[in-house]
Amino acid sequence: MKIAVVGTGYVGLVSGVCFSEFGFSVICIDNNVSKIEDLKKGVVPIYENELDKLMLKNMNAGRLSFTSDIAEGVRDADIVFIAVGTPSKTDGSADLSYVYGAVDELAPHMNKNAILVIKSTVPVGTTRAVKQFLQDNGFDIEVAFNPEFLREGAAIEDFMRPDRIILGIESKKAEDALKRAYRPLFVLSIPIVFTGLETAELSKYAANAFLAMKITFINEVANLCENCGADVKEVAYAIGLDKRIGEQFLQVGPGYGGSCFPKDTSALNDFSKNFGVSMPLVEETIKSNDARRIKMIQKIMGVCDNDVKNKNISILGVTFKANTDDMRDSPSICIVNHLLKNGAKIKIYDPSFSEQAKKIFKDAEWSNNAYDNCNGADVVVILTDWAEFRAINLADLRRRVKNPLLVDLRSIYTVNEAKASGFVYCSVGRPFIEG
Ligand SMILES: NC(=O)c1ccc[n+]([C@@H]2O[C@H](COP(=O)([O-])OP(=O)(O)OC[C@H]3O[C@@H](n4cnc5c(N)ncnc54)[C@H](O)[C@@H]3O)[C@@H](O)[C@H]2O)c1
């Protein structure tokens, strides 16, 4: 079986590499020519654990190749996956121009018996509309929808051992083709759920909105903890032990960000209205998450007596979460920019050395490790919960800083560790420690 993947971003590249690891012949296509030239040389453009090794292995085995020529890429494929971006438009709706752009370009070159599978997250009704669009333009192409649930930072593991595969199909032909493509997972007893197109499309948005709500809920509980003397880490642990709730996505922090939850909650909130339904819980989640960023700014400003002018602020982590270089909609953007705007001198260390971040924070200084980043700092702010920040030697850090003030927006440290460190410690959802 030959597979083509259009769009070699976080989803397309991982999917292409993993399908080639299953043993299929895969060609990854992108209209970003320099990205494809790098990939051909074995250079992975994103930070994703183990992706480079798996990619090189499959390139060397002759199963994985890259092209920027969409016609050449799709010509021999039995299945063409579309994994281009679907960012938010300014009105909050999903921008489908990349999906339609790709469909338009590839349709004349696809093999008549091949299946077109949309993997990009698209509003309910899009796959059917794409089908209609193809028909209206004289192309008899079977279209299916296959949402992707991988998490950046654990993308290969998630693709290779997902909790489930959801396949929105309308024909036996599509069912058979996708069964073949996912057979390596089917034999591992991973549930494969066949549904209609609309159900598959909505399943993706419903999953992301639910997880975004869960994060937002624990952040609201954190606000209450700060005022009532409870400890949010302990509350999260206690409620997470209940199997009906589960422990995941109950980590407090500066609010959800990234390339999925913000845009997908926003798109769901938008397109549900087209079906005459409002979703107040989703709407409230979006508002609460936006407010969270402001609250985090107030927290930092508050411990700095509302004056950060000329203060040396050491920022640890700027990516929207650990184990990725992705900066899309990261809470750090508005937080750090606010500090910069108010005259702070910002120094950043992020273990991904994110190029995206360097373009965003042009006025910041960058360090190669957490300790150097804190030399002479007036305030240290932990923004992303990278594993290496969990075991910082706080005594060493204390000797390096000018002023022992630690703002931990992920509440990584325990209250006792903070007390012992001698830092004035401001975290989320727990008592303020005077130092
Ligand atoms: N990033 C995630 O963690 C994640 C997880 C699940 C689902 N998704 C969904 O998957 C989709 C892709 O997300 P992503 O993060 O991989 O996006 P991305 O922005 O990282 O990658 C998209 C790629 O598509 C390419 N592209 C755009 N138009 C093209 C065209 N006409 N021909 C060829 N290439 C083209 C771009 O150059 C880019 O490299 C989105 O709909 C997203 O919501 C993302």
> Among residues 104, 115, 107, 109, which one has the least CA distance to residue 78?
115
Is the per-residue pLDDT at 398 higher than 90? Answer: yes
Residue with tokens 């273990």: 351
Q: What is the pLDDT of residue 260?
A: 97
CA–chain centroid gap for 97, Å, is: 21
- Torsion, CA 325, CA 328, CA 332, CA 337, rounded to 10: 120
Dist CA 225 CA 221 (whole Å): 6
| Catalytic, out of 260, 304, 334, 374 | 260
Atom index in ligand 1 nearest the CA of residue 32 equals 37
Q: Which two tokens stand for residue 34?
A: 């320099």
String of DSSP letters for 310-328: T-EEEEE--SSSTT----T
In this prediction, residue 90 has a pLDDT band, given cuts at 50, 70 and 90, of very high
Residue 24 DSSP SS3: coil
Question: E strands, 141-191, where?
Answer: 142-145, 165-168
In this prediction, residue 434 has a pLDDT band, given cuts at 50, 70 and 90, of confident
Give the pLDDT confidence of 353-380 residue by residue, as tens digits.
999 999 999 999 999 999 999 999 999 9
Residue 75 DSSP SS3: helix
Is the per-residue pLDDT at 415 higher than 90? Answer: no
Give the pLDDT confidence of 50-81 residue by residue, as tens digits.
999 999 999 999 999 999 999 999 999 999 99
Is the per-residue pLDDT at 349 higher than 80? Answer: yes
Where do the domains of the chain lie, and which CATH numbers do they carry?
2-195 (3.40.50.720), 196-435 (3.40.50.720)
Per-residue pLDDT averaged across 414-424, rounded? 90
Is the per-residue pLDDT at 97 higher than 90? Answer: yes
Q: Which two tokens stand for residue 251?
A: 């980590």
- CB of 32 within 6 A of ligand 1: the answer is yes
Q: What is the pLDDT of residue 327?
A: 98
Q: What is the pLDDT of residue 418?
A: 86
Dist CA 42 CA 47 (whole Å): 14
Q: What is the pLDDT of residue 396?
A: 94
Give the pLDDT confidence of 253-276 residue by residue, as tens digits.
999 999 999 999 999 999 999 999
Q: Cα(11) to centroid of ligand 1, in Å?
A: 6
Q: Give the residue whose CA is nearest to atom 41 of ligand 1.
A: 120
String of DSSP letters for 201-222: HHHHHHHHHHHHHHHHHHHHHH
Q: What is the pLDDT of residue 250?
A: 98
Is the per-residue pLDDT at 435 higher than 80? Answer: no
Atom index in ligand 1 nearest the CA of residue 120 equals 41
**Is 28 in the active site?**
no
> Among residues 248, 286, 250, which one has the least CA distance to residue 268?
286
pTM of the model: 0.96
Q: Give the residue whose CA is nearest to atom 19 of ligand 1.
A: 85
Angle at the Cα of 36 from the Cα atoms of 33 and 40, rounded to 5 degrees: 140
Q: What is the pLDDT of residue 153?
A: 95
Sequence letter at residue 297: I
Average pLDDT taken over every residue of the chain: 97
Give the pLDDT confidence of 283-328 residue by residue, as tens digits.
999 999 999 999 999 999 999 999 999 999 999 999 999 999 999 9
Q: Cα(259) to centroid of ligand 1, in Å?
A: 10
Q: What is the pLDDT of residue 32?
A: 98
Atom index in ligand 1 nearest the CA of residue 10 equals 16
